Every structure is written in C-alpha cells, then in structure tokens.
Structure 1
Amino acid sequence: MYTVLTHTITHMTMIDNAPDPVKETYMRMKNEKGKKIELKVIGGNYYIYAARGVWDKVKKKPVKKTVLMGKIDDNGIYREKKPKSIFSSTRVYEYGNSQLAWNLAQDMYSIMEKHPYRDQIIAMAIVKAIDPMPLRIVSSRYQKLYISRTLKPDLDPDELSRILGYVGNHFPDLYELFRKLMEPGGFLFYDMTSIVSYSRNLRLAEKGYNPDHEYDNQVTVIIAFSVNSWLPVAVDVFYGSIKDIKSLGYFIERFHDDNMGFIMDRGLFSESIIREFRRMKMHYIVPLRRNSTLVPYKVKFDSAFMYNGRPVQSTRKSSRYGYIYIFQDPMMRAEEESTILRDVASSMKDMEYFEDRKESLGVFAIISDLDRNPSEIYEQYKSREEVEQVFDTMKGDLESDKTYLRDNEKVKGFFFIVFLALRIRFRILKVLKEYNLLGKMSVNEIIFELSKMERIVEKNGTEYFAAVPKKVERIAGLFKDIIHMG
C-alpha cells in the first residue's frame, strides 16, 4: 500500500511540475487511448509510457510493465517512438495486397467513423482478409503491409482481446451499421453450423448437433448476404444448434424485405425446419442426403447446363415440402466410380457394394420452395461453398486464439472481424466474376500474387516500387481503379 501511494504521489508531482502544453497533451492522450498511460521525466525530457499488467510466472501475480510510446516536447508536441530497424534503414512493404484490402474496406471505415476502436478493427480485418493470423502475431503481420505507414493502431494482443470484448458487449449497436449496408433486392442467409468452439470457457458454446453427426460445443454463426451486391451485410452469433430456427427471429426480423431466402448446411433437412421457414415466410434451399427417401433410386434427367466449365444434368419434381431439384455431375460420377472400383480391385469392397450405389454416384439433390430453373437453384446453392471456403480459412483462429477469446462477447467480436474480412474477400470475388475468371483464379491467389508488388521506403523518406513481375502486373490491372500506382 505504501509503495503504491508513493508511486502515485511521485507521478502526480511529475504532472504538476510539467509545462502546461505538456500537461494538456498528456491528459488528451490519456482520454483518447482508453488505456493506462504514464508520463515520466528522464533527463529533463517528457516521455509517454503505456502501462499494463503482465502475469509473472515466478512471483505468481500480475506485475506492471511499461513500454515507451513516444515523447512530448515543451511545446506539447507529441512524437511517436520510431521503430528500430535491426538490419537496414530501408524498409520493404507489401503494397499490392495491402492497398487492395485497404481500399476495399473504405466503405466500412467511413460507416464506423464514430467507433472508438475503428482503426484497430479495420487493421484486424485487413490482416484476416490477407493472411489470417492469431491475435498474438497480428501486429507483426500488419507491420509488413504498406498501410501500416498511415494507419497506426495499437495491435497489442491483450488490447485487441479487450476490443473484441467491447465489440461483443455492444453487438446490438452494430445493427445500426448493418442497416446502412442493406439494400433492396432481397437477402440470402447462410448458416455456418459446422463452426465448433474449442474453449470450455465459452458460454455461447452449448451442446449442438453438427452435420457430421457429432454432439459438441457448438457456436452457430449466421451471415446475411445482399442478393443485389452479393456482399455480406450482417452477421450474428447464436447458442447451440441451428435446428432451433426460432432463435434466428431476432436476427431475421431486422431485415424488412419480402424476398429473403435461407441456404442451409448439408444434412440438416427436417419437416419441422421447413414448417418454420414457411411460417416465417422465408424461401429456403436445403440440400438432401443421398439416402433421403425423397430422392428416387433411379433418376431420369431431362435437361443440362454448364457450371464453372463442367456439364451438369438436372431434373425437378414436386413434393409436399416443395420442389426437389436433382443434379448429376458426370465428372464427379466418374471420379466416385473410379474410387469404388479401385477399392473393389484391392478387395477392400465387393461388386455388390458398387452395384448398390452406382445409380446415385455424382447425384446431388436440393429441396426448395422456389419455382426456378434448376441451373439457378444449383448456382445459388454453390454460392454457399464460396462462403464456406472463405470462412474455413478463418475459423481455425478460434483454436489458436482461445487464450484471448475466453467469453461470449469476445467470440462475437471475433466474428464481426471475420464478417469485415469476408466483405473484403467477396469484393475481390466479384471482380473475378466480372472478368469471368472464377475457377481460373482464386481470391487467395490474387492476394498472394499482389503481395509481390512491393514498395521500398528509404531512410530519407524516398519511396519507389520494386520490380513488378508480369503476372502481378496483369492481376493488378484487374483492380486498376483500386490499387493506385502513383
């Protein structure tokens, strides 16, 4: 108690003896930073330190650790501490991917103008969109990006964890932000039911039933997409299993549109879910299991279409639950047939096994209330796979970040960052669609290749581009209005 009191009196004396401009700058920073900072006088100069508690494994108690942030001169001008370069005064930054992500996040940056942690949130989203990283190394990854020269948030992992908690605690306020993103034309809802929480401390993670028949601690994440812009416009997180469709009411009721559809995860079809969708006046697209009694053993296909360069056969029939759309991908059928026959040849399976399944090879069925051309239904469901692929690259962070995601609010904050990263990646996906490059190039490939467009910054402030490979130039040309080379 004596030590703490002495420290407090000494610190107050430093402030009282400091020039007024120094006091004003210090107090302003203390109010803005939202964390504990201290003013220290060393050799007649005034320095700002960030203070935080760190667990001491030896003493088995928290101890205070201070880190130099910068210096305030007698005129009250604050100068941030310059990072030291160990090997060279010249810095090389990833420019292409950095500027692409930053410019694609500008709409969200503007909408979040009044958010107290806007810079940290956008920086986390940019890193997650470019190269998903655990919170503990977000700062290191961000420092390699050119945007770190202008957007300079505090990315200390403990600070980021606290910010995620703040976002989760204020999640209802985000609906005002979501409303600004919404537009007429309808919405598609995607459930990410396969997301499983690994932290025993997460109250959100109740026992749920996932598509792999496993009862586990499960967090259900629902993402809403605009049909018009094909971009994510909202996200929310729920307890347990998606099978309790009523729990989505709070989320869905905020979308005042007559044209809303729900694209479900595999293997979650049930009569009760269909009845609930109908009661809520929502369209639905639900995949059926191969052994579903709603799918006939032998199917006579009556049409065909192309999807991503592959031919697909299709047909449609009516049922009391809606229309059943049945598809067969001949290339997939051939692959599945070859796999089984190889097993037969190696005596792992017999021909009876093959005969029992050969009619269903490459067959895929969907039930929906929508009266559409089969190719439209197929394309809308396949769009879900694009969402899943992007989401899968990020959900592993739940495990690596479990130290920092110890409660519901932080998990909600985490998925808001994922939502922002998805918006960035789906804007890239839209460009690929516009240039008919889907299936030829991926979002990951775009981001990786553009990382090779580097900006070199000399110690004296001189900047210039490193040599840009031809392939990177061609890719940058797809985004010529977004990546500025000036």
Structure 2
Amino acid sequence: MSLPEWITKLKDKNIEIHKRGNNYYAYRITSVYDPIKKRSKKITKEYLGKITPDGIIPPKYKRDLQSVGVLEGGNISLINHFAQGIRKPLFEIYGTDAESILASAIIKLAYGAPIKRFQFHYERSILSHIYPNAHLSKNTVSELLDAVGSNLHNQRNFFEYLSKSSSYMAVDLTHIFSDSNKMGINELGYNPDHIWNPQINLLLIWAIDNHHPAFFKVLPGSINSVSSLINGIKESGLKNVIVVGDKGFFSAENIEMLENSQIHYIIALQRTLPFLKYPGDSAYKHYFIYRNSLQWWREEDVSGRRVIIYKDKAIAAEEEKVFFQKGKEVGVSEQEYRKTRNRFGTLAVITDLGDSPERIYELYKGRKDIENAFYALKHGIDCDKTWMQDAIKLRGFFFIAFISLYLYTRILDHLSRKGLLSEYSVPDVLSYLSSVHVVETGGMRFWSDIPKSCKELIEKLEISITQKL
C-alpha cells in the first residue's frame, strides 16, 4: 500500500497503518514467540487513533485523559537493572556523557531504533527520568559518536573493567555489509556467505566464564586472517585469550603463528586428517558428563602437540543410522562402512592448554556463545547494515551497540539460569514488558495495572521490575 509522506513520517516497526475508505488509522503492534508453532506471531496491542496531516488524533476516551502522560516502563526497567553493573565504570570513564551512552544503548536494545528515533523513544519512556541529563537528538548523538569513536583509550579502559573477573577469553571475527562510500574501511572482502560486497569486519573477544562480550575492534573489510586476530588480541591488552576455532581454521601455518605469538588455542580438526587415528570404543577409557550427555575421551601426542578425541556414543548411533539411510539411496560398501564407523560421534581438537579434557570441551562448546552474540548483534540489535559515512562515528556507533550486546547477554544469561529459555527469548521478554507503563498525572508517577501475562513473567524473572519511582 502506497502511503502519503505525512503518514510515512509516523510509520514505525511497532505501528501498523490501516486504510478504511479515505481515512488512515494507526495501531500499535508487537510480536511474541509462539513456542507451539515455533515462530513469531503478531499481536495488536492498542488502537492509537485516526491519522491526519497534523498527526494522530487519539480516540475520544484517550482525549479525555490528555492531562495524563503514559510512559513505557517495564522493558526499560529490566534493561536498566542489568546496566547497574557497568554504570560505575562508564561514569568514571565518560563523565556526563555516560548518561547519553547508556540511554542510547538501552534504546538500541529495547527498540532496535535508528539514531533519528532515539529522542522519540527517550521522551516516551521512563528513560527520560532515569537518565535526565541524556541528550539524544540526532545532532547531539552524532557529536557523541564522534567523541566516543575518537577516544580508543577510554574504550580500552572500559574493556579492561569487563575482563577483570574472567579466567578465559575467546575471540572471533564476523562481517557486516556497509553501503557507505566515504568511510575508507569498508572494503570488498571474503565472507562465509560468499557475497562480494563492501563490508566491515568486527573482532569480538568474549568472556567465556561470565558469558558476556569483553572487547571489540572494527577492522577493514578485506582483513580476515589469523594475523588480524593476533593483532586485535595484542591491542586489547587482555590476558588468557584463546582462539577457539572451527574445523576450517586448522592449518599448520595458523598453529605456528599462534604459538609464535604466545596465544592459546583450541581448534577443531576435520575427521579425515591423516594423522588422526580412530580405534574402537574400548580405547576410550575416560568420560565426563556434559549437559546430561556422556562424553568419552582419549588423548594423543601429534608432533609434540596435544590432541584430544571425544566420543558421544548417542551421537555416534544417530550418525550411523543416517549413514545407512543415505546408503540405501546411493549404495555403501561394507569396506566404506568399516573405514568410517569409528569416526561416528567423534570430535577431535588440538590445543596448547594444559587444562583437563572436560574443561577443554567446555571451553570449545563456549564458542557457541560468541556465535550467538554475533547473531544478536547483527539481527536482534539491528546492526547488519550500516550507512555511517564516517569511520570515527562508526566506531562510536559500534561501541553503543557493544553495550547493547552486553546488556542483551546479561538478560539472556539470567533467563538461562532461571530455566526460562524454552519459554522466552530476550525479544519476547522485552516485548511483554513494554506493555507495563508508568502513568504521570498531577506531578506524580506510578505504575499502571500490570497485565496478568506480565505479572507471571515478572514473578518468574524474580526481579523487581516495578520498583519505587
């Protein structure tokens, strides 16, 4: 449906426009995850009113309450609860700019909004009371990004604070496409999607034990190698960083570069590498339990390096079944089966760490956290494409996005510890709580009635979302 310009100015991802006759009407919508259908479903939350060139005319019952202000509060209150752990270092490092940084990061997480809408969401939520000295107009945010992006020393001080209590760090790279033609760091580069577009690379270091990001660096799009990882790790100044790589990362050259730089590694190995041996099950004499799954293991010394082979017999049985199912279609000889059967259910890793095989396995599996973090950064926090026209502003922008990601992971970790991830995702929780409002009237502020579904969620979270105003 083609809409007049005076209507498109009001259009937002949470506002749906309906046309009836010659008139246009606005509705507030949201989406929640349906665990039964395993997909998101749209929910119409409220009728906002008739749209005119002068704006939205609320329905009569709302016009009767013009003296009453209603602010979004539940979602902001939850995010701000998890922001308390980084308030002190941000205020110590950034002074009065800390309010604008935190408010911007919270808006980015809560709404995925572009910079031009920061002020809109700030004024219509309790953020304007939590951080009254934040300045979020388009121009002031642009100045903020310049200030933050140009001072890498301050960023490093903040990263050092985040890394203090974690014993091990993992590192990885991802790409983000950019259509800007003025930055100079977005370059044609290789990526796993095999798309040859201008892109930026992001290096992210992850606190494995604490489940949160600890450092990031923006790199030119053409840089995607072990040397860029090594340089990023050195620049971070962080200790105990581990390169946790998948099977495509391994090569003798890469291992030597990491060892020469004294950087720890855990790298998965392709099952078909000639130096890997696969004896029968009786050779796996040790085991541990990981997330209710029995993991058997054995060790080998390969040219003076430590190789651990894990075997999950439940996965082995499943892979064997799939092997024969495919064999019915294409034909499999008994010789081929004998050659491959002992590989089923195995994972081999090469590492320079002296930790126990169980700890090595946990650290390797922690790689999934950083992959999920990249997904959240590029999709949930709406950073997959950037139209920034200035490299310094871009670094400032991603510092804001980094803090949003940190807050996202804090909520995610809380949901995991409370056993709620099978019911709610982070976007689900924020969507539900966005319907919990603060009412302003007569110089007073108080929480409105809380919907039953939100009450149940708040009880499960065991966090005082509706604290005293």
Task: Report the TM-score when normalising by structure 1.
Answer: 0.67
Which residue of the other structure, out of 309, 313, 320, is the alignment partner of 1:326? 309
Question: Does residue 151 of structure 1 match 2:131?
Answer: yes
Alignment of 1:26-425 (within 5 A): 86-87=57-58, 88=62, 89=66, 90=68, 92-113=70-91, 114-115=94-95, 117-140=97-120, 145-151=125-131, 153-157=134-138, 160-161=141-142, 163-183=144-164, 186-191=167-172, 193-199=173-179, 201=181, 202-211=183-192, 217-226=198-207, 229-239=210-220, 240-245=222-227, 248-249=230-231, 251-252=233-234, 254-255=236-237, 257=239, 259-264=240-245, 267-296=248-277, 300=281, 301-320=284-303, 322-330=305-313, 332-333=315-316, 347=329, 349-351=330-332, 355=337, 359-396=342-379, 397-400=382-385, 402-403=386-387, 405-425=388-408
The aligned amino acid for 2:450 is A
- What is the one-letter code of the residue matched to 2:436? E
Pairwise CA distance, 1:420: 0.9
The 3 A distance-change label for structure 1 pair 464 and 256 is: closer
Amino acid across the alignment from 1:280? S
Cα gap change, 1:106 to 1:481, in 2 (>3 Å): same
Shift in alpha-carbon separation, 1:169–1:139, aligned structure 2, 3 A? same
Question: What's 2:40 paired with?
Answer: none
Contact 1:323–1:369, Cα closer than 8 Å, also in 2 = yes
**Cα separation, 2, equivalents of 1:97 and 1:362:** 43
Q: Give the CA deviation at 1:310.
A: 3.6
Instruction: Tell me what 1:455 maps to.
Output: 437
**How far apart are residue 462 of structure 1 and its match?**
4.7
Q: 1:226 to 1:313 in 2, by over 3 A?
A: same
Structure index of larger Rg: 1
* Native 8 Å contact 2:436 2:454 kept in 1: no
Deviations 1:131-150 (A, max 9, x none): 53444555555566433444
Give the 3 Å change call, closer, same or farther, for CA 217–303 of structure 1 in structure 2. farther
Unaligned runs of 5+ in 2: 1-54
Deviations 1:416-437 (A, max 9, x none): 12321232133234434655x3
Please tell me the residue identity of whatever aligns with 1:252: K
Q: Conserved in 1, the CA contact under 8 Å of 2:187 and 2:199?
A: yes
Change (3 A) 1:409 1:374: same
Q: Which residue does the alignment assign to 1:57? A: none
Deviation of 1:454 after TM superposition, in Å, equals 0.7
Q: CA deviation at 1:391?
A: 2.2
Identity among equivalent pairs (%): 23
1:212–1:85 CA distance, 2 compared to 1 (3 A): closer
Check conservation: 1:132, 1:393, Cα contact below 8 A.
no
Q: Alpha carbons of 1:408 and 1:358: their partners in 2 closer, same or farther (altered >3 Å)? A: farther
The Cα shift of 1:343 comes to 5.5
Query: d(CA) in 1 for partners of 2:200 and 2:273?
Result: 27
Residue 296 of structure 1 aligns to which amino acid in structure 2? Answer: K
Structure 1 position 283, deviation (Å): 1.6
Contact 1:225 / 1:233 at 8 angstroms: preserved in 2?
A: yes
- Say if 2:433 and 2:454, in contact at 8 Å, map to a contact too: no
Letter in structure 2 aligned against 1:110: K
Q: TM-score, normalised by structure 2?
A: 0.69
Give distance in 1, aligned partners of 2:201 and 2:188.
11
2-structure distance, mates of 1:140, 1:359: 60
> How far 1:477 moved relative to its partner?
5.2
- Is the Cα contact below 8 Å between 2:279 and 2:342 reproduced in 1? yes
Counterpart of 1:466 (choices 449, 457, 460) is 449
Unaligned runs of 5+ in 1: 1-83
CA separation of 1:150/1:398 partners in 2, compared to 1, >3 Å: closer, same or farther? closer
- CA distance in 2 between partners of 1:218 and 1:320 (Å): 39
State the shift of 1:469 in Å: 3.0
Q: Rate the CA distance shift 1:455–1:439 in 2: closer, same or farther, 3 A.
A: closer
SS in 2 for 1:111: helix
Q: Is the 8 A contact 1:185 1:228 kept in 2?
A: yes
Give the Å deviation of 1:457.
0.8
CA contact (8 A) 1:449 1:472 kept: no
| Map of 1:14 onto structure 2 | none
> For the residues of structure 2 that align with 1:145 and 1:340, how far apart are their CA atoms?
56
